[in-house]
Structure 1
Amino acid sequence: MLLAPCVRFVPPGFFQKPGFATALMEQITTFQGTPNDVSEAVAARVARSRFLYEGGHRYVVLMEESVLRYRTANPDAMKGQLRHLLAVMPLASVSLGIIPFTAQRTVWPLEAFYLHDDTQSVVETLTAKIKVTQPRELADYAKAFAGLAEMAVCGDGARALIRAAIDALE
């Protein structure tokens, strides 16, 4: 199982639509001054979404409500991205929780992280991905995920927050 608490400014790559991913990757390329391989990067990112539909993977994703509201792409791409979140929510491989602005804060992670079963955590920083394998540190990430999960709304509550974000774009 892949547990993916996403305390981030964008949905995780495997949830991204091409229009959204293109806007995001263009911004990253400009910021970092790296060679423009956006079309290849977007294709690779979008291809990873196949794991949502095949195999025995399970993605438990938590995102802050702000992720739904940031204008990372133009309004049409943002609407498409938000509608895509609604479309993947019913998949058996997906559990999506949104931490509302109004949630009582009990955990404040400083970075995005992915917890791969009990074997490793991948932490994303501005410039690097860090793999954590120490059992004590993995326990801290599992504890943070559990705290975040308690703050999140799922199902109808999450869908309502996504729909409100779509409505705000219209």
Structure 2
Amino acid sequence: MFKIFHQPSHRMPDECVVWDEQHANLLFSCSMKNSKYFLALTLAIALNASCSKFEEGPAFSFIPAESRLTGEWVVVQIEGDGYADYDAYLASGQYVITFEFEEDGGGEFSFGYNYDGYSYSYGYTLDWDLDDDRLDVFMNGDLVNFEVQRLTNKEMKMKTLNDELFDNGVVFTMEKD
């Protein structure tokens, strides 16, 4: 734990000190004129190093992850062994896959496709829970675990961690609708 405190001395009446209590070390001594800049720099470095929950970012966000997650997400890419055809169908517009995450922890998973001049669509209600970078989604009687790799207001990338509805290691890249 670090402490920043004012410590007047006879040589510098406006001196401050940064002290590491755990290791009993003096880390930094400065005049009060420079201490606000040092404090801002220290805070920025600490936040940047410790606030990134997701492998691909963002490094820092003022908006909580749960708030960024809520909304309707359209799958724009699927990566994984055996999923190249699905990815091609998504790119051509033949398939549409969406995840909708509501604020109350509910939502819907839906997919639709066009075949032989007809449109088909299916949907399942879901419940979700986000804990750090792990997203647990309960739908259609199965629990699907995802690792969220990227989560911004408009982009999300998540990878399956089990084989319940999708193969393990399948990566979904999505954009908010």
Compute the TM-score of the two structures, normalised by the length of structure 2. 0.22
When you count helix as a share of all residues, which structure comes out higher?
A: 1
Q: Which has the higher contact order (CA 8 A, sep 6+)?
A: 1
